[in-house]
Every structure is written in structure tokens, then in C-alpha cells.
Amino acid sequence: MIHLFNGFQNPFGGSDLETLDLFRLLSDDSEVRLWATSSRASGELMRQFPIRRISPRNAPDGGTYVFLGAHWRNKIWPYLIPRPRRLIYVFNTFHPKVVALTTRMPRLLNWPDAELVPISDFQKRMLRVDGVVHPSPIDIDRFSPRLARPDGPFTIGRLSRDTLDKHHIDDMPLYEELLADGTALRIQGGMLLSDRLKPHPQLELLPEGRFAAEQFLSTLDAFYYRTGSHVETFGRVVFEAMACGLPVVCHSHGGYADHISHGENGFLFETTQQAARILAELKADPALRATVGRKARQTVEELFSPAALRERLDFYRR
């Protein structure tokens, strides 16, 4: 039995989606249960998936415990249930405090030592921890490159949660410059930018989750991504865009950067000026967009190939 634990508070959250994808993959030939560690779990997710709420009377009964973006500290139920055979933590954070909380076992608990699973080499370097790296699983079959671009303006977009830490303040003047140059801009998870950007006929700000990622990404010619105070440990949305055959233009500080070769399967930038030059080059060169987009798709096909996924899943099953 494999038990997967998550807060399940946000239907569009990275760790929530990672947990559900891991559940889908492991369930093919393993018995897997989902557990909500938060009392504020999303009603939508609880209705869509067989997620159980943890309580002293309804709790895991041994086996392998896998925590993703959650932990057991300060809870009573761990002391009242069978000891796990294995304890695994999948980390999607940069906070060393979380590592300390989840790896120091109280004597009374008598649980096995935690096995750590960072979700990117970038995160592993930043945290300076030991562990096997597993990229956040993505069902890339949901995403497919668009064969023909419809007539219309060159369209740049991005999607994320609708929180300020997901947006960089220096992107506001860049967006204004792009719009003034005739580029269309679509931002899903950008409603909070409505008081920071002037209305424009080619600017579309959408609430988070308005469209499924594969639907939204299929309307773009290029994907742009930079965050504010939030640093992406992995950045699954970047890989979803690459799976759609889009050229991605991303800030160089993030877990996705280890998988992007600048100018080959995507683009990395340090400054706003560099980003503007790359986007202008992509706008002027459809052939470049197509070439980089094809290599982007090849990258995710290799990263999430059946063989690569099988090796990662076997880690949890053993």
C-alpha cells in the first residue's frame, strides 16, 4: 500500500497536481490512497478524486507514506497509527526549515528515516540535501503541438496562480512595450494585474483555471515566464508549454533552467532587456519558433518517456 499525502487546497497548485499525477501513474499496478493533510482541502478536488481526510479514526494503516508539499509535524494521528515501512518526502520548497521538520524524528514516533526526493537538481543544489531527483510527473499526452497557427497577431502568454509573488514587477513595462509593438498578450492568473496594466484591445487578463492548461497554451505563439519573490523549484507549467511545442522564454533562476539549452529548445534571460530582444526575434522569425518548439517537445518526451517514468515509479513501489 502506498499512501500519498498533500494539503489539496488548490486545484491549480503545483504540489496538488504533482500528487494527483503520481496517483494516476502508480495506480496502474499498485494500491494507492490519497490523504488530505489540511482541514481546508478544496471541495472541488475532494469531489473529483478519492481523497480522504485524516483523523484519528480514519488514517493510513502502514505501508509506504509519501508526503508531497506537506508534512506530519504537529499532528496527533501519526502517533496513533501503524508505523510506515518507508517514509518519503517529495520536496517542492526551498525552505530549509521544512527539511529539518520532516527529517528529525521524535523518539516516541519510531518512524523510519526519511528518504528525500527533490524535484529538480536546481533545488537539490540550493538546499544542499542528499536524495534522488524526480521531476514532477506530467501527463504530456494531454499536450500536443499545434500544427498550424491561425492568422492573427503574434501572441505571447503565461499562466500561473493569481498571486503577486508569481509576477515580477519589471514585467509590467515589458508588457506595455510588447502591446505597443502590436503583440497580443494573454495572461491566465493575471486578474490582479488589472490595476497595473492599462486596458488594451490585445491584452487579455484571465482568472487562474479559466481554461485547462492544454487549451490555453494552444492559443499562444510563445510562452514567457518570470516570477517575483516566488522561485520555481521545478516550474511544471514551463514543461507543459514545451510539450505544446512552444518556444519558452524564461528567467534563468528556476528548476526548469537545467533542462533548457539557450537558443536550442528554449531561451533563458537575466534582464528585461534580454527578454525583450528574444521575444522580438521570435516575433520576426516563425521558422525559429518552429525549430525551437520542436526541440522543446523532444526534451519533454525524453524527460517523461515511459522508461524514465517507470524508473521513477519503481522507487516508490520497492
- Rounded CA separation 215/209 (Å): 11
Task: Supply the pLDDT for residue 93.
Answer: 77
3 state SS of 262: strand
C-alpha triplet 145, 27, 105: angle, nearest 5° = 110
Task: Supply the pLDDT for residue 58.
Answer: 86
Task: Supply the pLDDT for residue 116.
Answer: 92
Q: How far is CA 184 from CA 152, 159, 171, 179, 264, in A?
A: 9, 15, 15, 6, 24
- Rounded CA separation 199/130 (Å): 48
Task: Supply the pLDDT for residue 165.
Answer: 93
Q: How far is CA 203 from CA 104, 184, 190, 197, 241, in A?
A: 49, 6, 11, 9, 20
Would you give per-residue pLDDT tens digits along the chain (318 residues)?
999 999 999 998 888 999 999 999 999 889 999 999 888 899 999 999 999 998 777 889 999 999 998 877 778 888 888 899 999 999 887 777 777 777 777 778 889 988 999 999 999 998 888 899 999 888 899 999 877 666 789 999 999 999 999 999 999 999 999 999 999 999 999 999 999 999 999 999 999 999 999 999 999 999 999 999 989 999 999 999 999 999 999 999 999 999 999 999 999 999 999 999 999 999 999 999 999 999 999 999 999 999 999 999 999 998
Identify the residue whose cell numbers are 525583450. 276
Global pTM value: 0.89
3 state SS of 89: strand
Q: Which three cell numbers stand for residue 225?
A: 515566464
